[in-house]
Structure formats: structure tokens, C-alpha cells
Structure 1
Amino acid sequence: MAPNDSAQATGEAKEPGAGRRKAARYAVPIAVAGVAAATIGLVPALAAAGDPSLPKISAQQLLEKMAASDTQQLSGTVKVSTDLGLPGLGSLGSFMPKGGGSDTSASPDAKLTELASGTHTLRVAADGPDRQKVSILEDAAEYSLIHNGNDVWAYDSGSNQAYHSRHSAADAGKEHGGRTPDAGVPTTPKALADQFLKNVDPTTAVSVDGTVRVAGRDAYQLLIKPKQSGSTIGSVRIAVDARTSVPLKFTLLPSAGGKAVVDAGFTKVDFSKPSASTFTFSPPKGAKVTEDDGKQKQTFKPGENLPGGLGGLSDAKDGKNTKVIGKGWSAIAEIQTGGKGLPKADQGKGGQGGQDAQKFLDSLGDKVSGPFGTGTVFKTRLVNALITDNGTVYVGAVTKDALVAAANSGH
């Protein structure tokens, strides 16, 4: 393992976010549900035995190299696996896109929420900011999303349905509530890394933790850890290509231990220019094509749903009836719903059935109490939420105890 600078706090860096914005020149476009921005992951990339010997580099230098990277062309294969500890997509609730979007099976809003759970294989390609493609490979079908200039196409071979949107740069800010269909959330290690690194602050420690080989390439390992207690996030590792400074692998480990919640890595990658034909598409004969006229409003905003200090709560203070408690990795959003908490089963009319229904509702979360009153905590391996019986919601990438403490802080 090559010797590298370790335990370097990000407070020593000089505004790494500003440099990274210069580097954000390509991103594979996918419109996935907002929760996927923080939870979509890729199965660990295949790594060769033994760590490569690379020149010593500090965390600050590695961040600067990542920010200065001008790589705009690549193609490759990634594996997608997400483990939130949820029984199914239905449990994602309000994080899913709601209303207004196209309901065809080829619509990005509808199709790509599948990446929020399970295991998937993707093929990705990018050639600058105007040409990107992502394909989800299934057992007997393939779903592709292609951005080529002003055109965005999506095609589901299983249903032989296609989705098409066309917009100019001038129209981009007017359609879909200010977001076009191709302006989606991260699906590559680089895009995932950008989401985390742009929110790095003094509550975060960053170091270089040795080297690794990913998809046959030498890489440094950037280690990101919260300095604060109470976060559900234990650490984030980003394998950074030694030659291009492009992230090749992204791993998010929970503070409670166990396997990764998010693990993103290329199994194959090529930094040469993809063929122009990669980004061309014509609907097959007989395909049902849905034209998006821009009236279907995209109601979810992927980048705004990242939990805790990862960006999800950074704008919450601007929301009505919402404020942020704390900062960084332990930030918690407090939302006043104006409601009465969780619904109660009708005990009077249901008899034993009503009691059973109430037991089922109670089993969905953990009952808690304190000076704030009583409530229920609903948990995943990453995002937890406390709903009090008076209708206040506390949510963040924090532990149950942190949520209860936040609720008690106002009483």
C-alpha cells in the first residue's frame, strides 16, 4: 500500500467546491427518484490482487487534481446494487416522483426509480456535455436513455415503448419545473462523488488511504469521514484514477456496520471517444412513442433529496414550515405538517380486526417518547425519520437517538 497523507481535515483545503464546479463538465443523465441520488450504488468493481505503488499525494492535492480534471469522454460497464434495508420500493413513499409525469413505461420518471433497490448492470457512455447514454441491462430486455444535443430519447425494449423530448438551451429552464428529463441524478462514481464533495465542510475529515486497482486501472483511495457523532454514515471511499483523476469507485458504509449501502464502481472503463453512433436513436418499427411537450411537470428535484449534510437539507430552511437543526453530517430537517401524526386504526368498528390493524401500524416503526411527547421512528440503513403524534416530522441521515434529541431540543 503506497504511503499517503492521512487524517487531513477539509478545513485546511481552500474552497475545494469552487474548483470542482469547473470539473463538472459531464454527467450521465438519468432522472431517478430523489432518494436514489443518495442511495443508488454500484457493486464493487473487480480489483486485482495487490495495491499499486503510486507517488505520494496529499488529500488536498488529490482534491485539486479531481477539480482540474477535464475528462469529458468515456464508456464502460457498471454494476448497480442498493441496500437500504427496505422491503420494496413502496416503502420509499414521498421520495418517489408524484403526479404530472408521463406514465409510459419508457418515461425516465417511471422507469429509473427501479435503480433505488436491487442489483442492476449499466452501460454508460459520455462525449462532452451534449451527448450521454445510459442503458440498464435486464435478463430479457434493455432500457436506454440517450441525450444527443437537443434530443432526449428513452426506449424500453421489453414493452417496445419510447419517450422523446426535444428542447433548446433557451427552453431548458422552462420545461419540467426548471429541469429537463436528461438533468437527472448521479449514476456514475464521478457524479456520486461530486454530490458528496461539493458539500464537504469543516465537519468532515478527508484523507488519502492508500491505493487500489479498479477495472484494471491504478487509483488512489480518498477517505471521507464525518467528525460528528450521530450520523448513520460511517465513511465514504472514492477510488480516483491515477492518470485521469476521474472517480472510478464510490463506497458508502453505514456507521452501524455491515455491508455498504452504496458501492459504486466500474468493472470496465475506456476513456477514448465513443463512436458517434452510440448516441443516435430511431424508434423501432411498431414502437409506441410518447412525445413530451413540456407540460408534464417534473415535480421532484433529485439533488434536493440528499440526506443530512450531503445536500438534502441545505435548502430545507427555505421551505415553508421547515427548518434545519444542526449542520453538516448530523443536520436534521424539522417539518411542521399541520397534521395529527400517524393515523390510528378504527378500534370501535373493527373489533379484533381493528386491533390487528393497529398492531400492524405500530410494527412499522419504533415507538419513542420524551419531553416532546410521543412518536414513531421509521428507519432505513441511511435515512431515518421521526413522526411525532402531534404531526411534526424530523428526518435526516442520523440515528434514532439523534432524532429524539432534536425533537426534545424544542421542549
Structure 2
Amino acid sequence: MKFKQICSATLITGLCLMLVSGCSAQQTATIKIGGNFELTGEIAAFGINGENGAKLAIKEANEKGGVLKRQIEYISTDNQSNAAESTAATTKLVTQDKVIAIIGPMTNADTLAAIPVVSANNVLLITPTSTDESITVGDAGLNKWVFRSCFINAFQGKIAASYALNTLNASKAALIIDQNGTFAKSLAAGFQDTFEKAGKQIIASEEYTSGQDTDFRVMLAEIKTQNPDVIFIPGWANQAGVIIKQAREMEFDTVFLGGDGWGTGPITDIAGKAALSNAYYVDQVALDDPALADFAAAYKKEYGQDADMFAALGYDAANMIITAIEQADSMDTEKIREALENLTDFRGITGTITVDPVTHNPEKSAAILKFVEGQKVFAARVDLQ
């Protein structure tokens, strides 16, 4: 009898220990978030910095106690700047590592390659920099599990038009549009739609082909007769620099506006410092914006180098996921997805973000940069909300 009592007591004690141990393990289980970034290959610089921004956000969250009383476990993969490898990296993160969300990739092609995998497995994906509209809304409609922290190309045009209307007090605008690809066309469409809806006039719309046209004097002469308040050039730095240089040589004193393509090359070297004295462009972020000071300092301390746009958008992408998990108060990916889809007034470092539930695109403020002695500096933040 005594032996049976001892055995029973031992069994009960063991069961209690197992229950306590099981509860403890459940409470301390990590939240797995994956990274699918271009860490090698053609655009490794973008991917490395994007991942660094995401990792910094996760580190800061963990230092504050994590999320839902759990630490975040970040699992990195390298898609080698290759769409096929992006599919493979996504498959590994979803099927082997069992992540609940993925940050990245950075390019449209690599992100599009990841979408079928996350969609089939109900795993969230948020890209920091893929701007193609089909990323979140494809031919079949909304990509339910896909989001982004960057704004799309047409949105840049809307921001530029808003700045022209409300800060520059423009009532007449001219467009000079690159017909090579969809980038400039998307920006131009966004600008024209916003400008004309405000009751203002697009007095000229000229077209050129990048890589082919180098002399813009004929179209500039035609535009000059219309006397626009602003000229919007939604192309790349190499072409915009030449156009502005030739315009100033023709004694244009008009304000020039552009999109983030102006930040992709040596526009100052091409146009000259003086030519850019009355020129502005839209970008995802301005690193000298006072709102980024704390992030810039933390990034420099962590990595020993200055942050860039890719790092800032990676940081915001990670924090959008973290905030959605907190608001969902759950590890269930459907509940997290719903929280992210309804994210409102999220204070990111690249702007205050509200996710459009219809498109999964962020509605956010954007940076306007100007040129001072040829240097790109923060001018303003523009918010369409």
C-alpha cells in the first residue's frame, strides 16, 4: 500500500513537472520571421542594407521584451538576386523553418517569384522596395498575403503634384515623359490626375526615349512658349540632368520636379550645380530628415556605416509586421494579416503609414528633396492623407 502511495505521488509530481515544463516551453517559444534578401549577386548592396534595417528593428523589439512575451527569431536567406533562388528561399522559410512572415525581397522580379509560395501557405510577405503595382494586385485581384512598406510609382506623381499645387502654387505644368518602360509613365499619370483634379492645367506633354534621344531643345522651345510654372520630368537622373542643363542654357527659370529616379545617378555632375538651384524631387526618404535622426544614429552604431533608403524601408517593413502581431495579439497568420491590412497611422521612419485594404499599398507621407550647391537635402514632407 505504501509502495503504491509513493508511486502515485511520484507519478503526480512527474506529471506536474511535465505540465509546467510544457507551459514554460510554450511561453518561451520564439516567433519566427524570415528574410528573403538579395545578399549576393547584382543588387547585393540593396539587399544587405534592407536586411540590416529589418534586423535592427527586430533587435530593438527583442531588447524591449519581444512580442507577445516571446522573442523574435530572425532566419536569413539569400536569393542571390535571382528569381528562381527567391522561390527556393521562400519555400525553405515556409516549409522547413515554419516562419509566420517574410521580409523581402527587394526587386519586383524576386518578389513576384515568392508570391505563389506564400499565398499557397498562408504566410505574410512584406517587400520593402518592390514598387510594381502587380506585386499586391495582380491579374487575379488582390494578393491577399502580400504587402509593402514603399509607395508605388503613381503615388510619387501624386506627391509631386501636391507639392507643386500647395507649396509652389503652380497652376500650369508641363510633362516630359520617358516612353521607354512603365516607370515614368506611371509617375506622369499620377501627377496629371492629381493636378487636373485640382482644377489646374497640363499645358504640354512631351515624350522622349531614353538611350536614344539626347537633344531636347525642340520640345523645350515649344514648352517655353506655354510659360509653365513647373516642369515635371519623371525619368532617371541621366536624362533629367541633360534636360535641365539644356533648359537652363535656353534661359528657363521654371521650377523642375522629378521622382526618385533622380536619385539614381550623378544628376549634379550632368546638369551642373547652378542648373539645379530651383529643382526638387520626390523620394521614399531623406536621410537628413530630422525624423530619422534616432534611426540613423542607431544604424551607424550597429553597422558602422550610414543608413540609406533601403535600410530605412527594411526597418519600417519589419516594424509593420511586429506591430501587426501585437495588434492581432495572436500567432495566427490570418489574424496577423487582418491586422496588417487594417494598419492605421503607423508611425514609421519613412512616414506615417496607413495600409489601403483594397490594394495593400501604404498611404504615407513622402520626402521632398532639393539641391543646395549641388547636394541633395531634405526640403519637406508631403502627406496626401
Q: State TM-score, norm by structure 2.
A: 0.27
- The structure whose residues are more often strand, as a share, is 1
| Larger RCO of the pair (alpha carbons < 8 Å, separation 6+) | 1
- The structure whose residues are more often helix, as a share, is 2
Q: State TM-score, norm by structure 1.
A: 0.26
Please tell me whether Structure 1 or Structure 2 has the larger radius of gyration of its CA atoms: 2
